[in-house]
Structure 1
């Protein structure tokens, strides 16, 4: 990770951490950089945004920078991150930009850059953007006369993406009562259209964005509201998305949560049965629940573990050919159809399993026993020193020995804060709390805690 760009783009509070000047300069660099790669033709870059009030401000700033550097800019308007990825790789754009801070509150925003393959931008290019932001590259040339870029309304690109999602479904959703929580975000422009077109009886909540209510007490990070909604409306199942709709959490007809781990199991087992699970392997992160791995072991499904972040999941998939991967948080990647996590696509794939197997989501999810988990964030003076302290490591090893094969402990440094995350999974919550407390007490005794 760099000074400005983290694992999921340049993100922060609008006009505090991420300003219009930053956006303009990012646009200037990208327009110039990709223009150099296509000197004999006009550079074309596509932009999408979520529903935050500040998204318009950043869109205009990016457009000014891009066109000043000579690129033509195609505007998808309010759309999802995966739709930008889809449009980039199918319509021949030089790159794509998504303006979103994902599941963050409305006052944050972010800039995600997607390369010509529809993948997250290479680290080497991100480092060059950062050097330009810090003034290390000097002045970039301004386009002149007929070389100055222009903007093009490209709402048609979003409509093509909607058509693509509809084409993925294997069966009609007729007679299925489905609830959708659109988080007052990007899914508001797409999800209901897809489910309606496929014949579902669609019940929608948090589908009225006003620029200030995205992710506010709704969506995949506040799943309790969808749980109640599913029960109140007597729906067969429901899906909740985050602000830019690249993640999905499901709720079964009994109102129980089906998180990313259980979704990976349900889809992975089905794909194995269909002979479409390449390498018989699912790619997870180190934060997936031990119950998922025990279910995979029982059913003879292999798995790999990456660092936290769908970026790392996709890197593994791209290098190995593995076709299913994701995170507990609901970023699920189906590489046959997408190069990023796609919440709406994920909900369609879950629907496919439910309909093809003629089983309820509750029955499918019941095959995974999710172990109780406690995760505590410990603020420390130096996270590297705290994690590598021999006494802390010895205590963690002691906990791991006590848990054996019935649980696990994980110490992980936060990527953005001076924080060590201490996580324990065990057969009961009391054990989780006890073992987490033991490790934190050693950190305090060693003088690491703030």
Structure 2
């Protein structure tokens, strides 16, 4: 059994993510990392189950002899930043990101605020299943304290990523915090930079995180942008590491068009290191065509912001992301940060002198059709009889395809891309029918 998916450990709270799992995996993490300061930072989003999981994690960490700093509801990228800034040996974020309230998850960071690589995750899993921990006694047992004022450190850090010669005075922004971890910090940052901010979905009750709100449901933000005649709208997800942008007309900006415009902005300002960016295999080929004309090379990783970041480090690249809204500006953040991304969007918009609908519409996308199939078991694709042949048929028709299992759910994700949308739909329906028979 593998505990780790594409982004930490995730599942239904109380069923898969239990207090027992949380305690054990916290102990396994603590015994795997190097102990230098003896401190571990713990943050969470706004799910009710976060209380249960947080207490279990604190119990496990203190039992191993670590001192714990609890910072309460804060964005995932804030935990990454503060882990390094506060000289902790590691950081833990309790969140299931964009998933519904009844799910939860546990994400881990090393002392530099980076997500763990797969080799470290394997070591943690090994310790977890060995179930033989070195519990401390007496004065060696750790202690825990809650610090509520770290929000100020993160706000200063985020604001420093915004060009000093610019301000947001006169810019009207509608901000959807998804009733999630950024419900306090996000409005504060934009207001302090001078924006006229209208905030929606900023009243978390433990159960409304991501519910008809935020990056997963930008249609509600779109309505508000038009209603308030705003210049732009930003939707975050539950832990604020993802960003979706809505233009002044209430249209959602495509994730690849957003990546393309931001890459072009960095290139124009000579801030794009090595003239390369990293995206995933999900990104539209039209993005490559647009950026290639400026001599910008587009590298592709597997799906998952962790995979994007790993390839960025390997290639010395400082910008990358996923079309789903995880955007990484590694000069300013260790991981995808929706607030850093939103400020860079604002900077580009101000310097372009254009409306959002113009500024983020620099090229046309190739038709790209997607679908998800619920599966009972994730049978390796190469072991499914006939799969190789039907995918070859898609390629022979001149279409790009991507067929993969979700890293966090029991779903098979299908994507077909090509210039003829009608034919793409036909081929996708054929794939759906084939894989449903094999996997459902």
TM-score strictly above 0.5: yes
Deviations 1:407-446 (A, max 9, x none): 52222233356654321123354222112123345557xx
**Equivalent residue number for residue 267 of structure 1:** 262
**Equivalent residue number for residue 16 of structure 1:** 15
**Equivalent residue number for residue 174 of structure 1:** 169
CA contact (8 A) 1:70 1:148 kept: yes
Structure 1 residues 382 and 187, CA, compared in 2 at 3 Å: closer, same or farther?
closer
Q: Does 1:347 align with 2:342?
A: yes
Deviations 1:363-409 (A, max 9, x none): 11111213332212345677555456574333333333333xxx522
**Equivalent residue number for residue 62 of structure 1:** 57
Aligned equivalents of 1:158, 1:101: Cα separation in 2:
21
Aligned equivalents of 1:276, 1:42: Cα separation in 2:
35
Q: Greater CA deviation, 303-312 or 433-442?
A: 433-442
Q: Greater CA deviation, 328-337 or 289-298?
A: 289-298
Aligned equivalents of 1:58, 1:287: Cα separation in 2:
33
Deviations 1:306-354 (A, max 9, x none): 1000010000011111010000110000111111100011000100101
The one of 41, 45, 52 aligned to 1:46: 41
The one of 278, 299, 310 aligned to 1:283: 278
Alpha-carbon RMSD across the aligned residues, in angstroms, is: 2.0
With normalisation by structure 1, the TM-score equals 0.92
Aligned equivalents of 2:233, 2:438: Cα separation in 1:
44
Aligned equivalents of 2:415, 2:174: Cα separation in 1:
32
Structure 1 residues 391 and 23, CA, compared in 2 at 3 Å: closer, same or farther?
closer
Unaligned runs of 5+ in 1: none
Aligned equivalents of 2:409, 2:321: Cα separation in 1:
23
**Equivalent residue number for residue 425 of structure 2:** 433
With normalisation by structure 2, the TM-score equals 0.94
CA contact (8 A) 1:354 1:361 kept: yes
The one of 357, 365, 370 aligned to 2:352: 357
CA contact (8 A) 1:260 1:332 kept: no
**Equivalent residue number for residue 244 of structure 1:** 239
Q: Does 1:204 align with 2:199?
A: yes
Aligned equivalents of 2:231, 2:98: Cα separation in 1:
26
Deviations 1:68-93 (A, max 9, x none): 21111111111000001001122211
Unaligned runs of 5+ in 2: none
Deviations 1:235-280 (A, max 9, x none): 0001000000000010011111113322211110011111111111
Equivalent residue pairs, number: 438
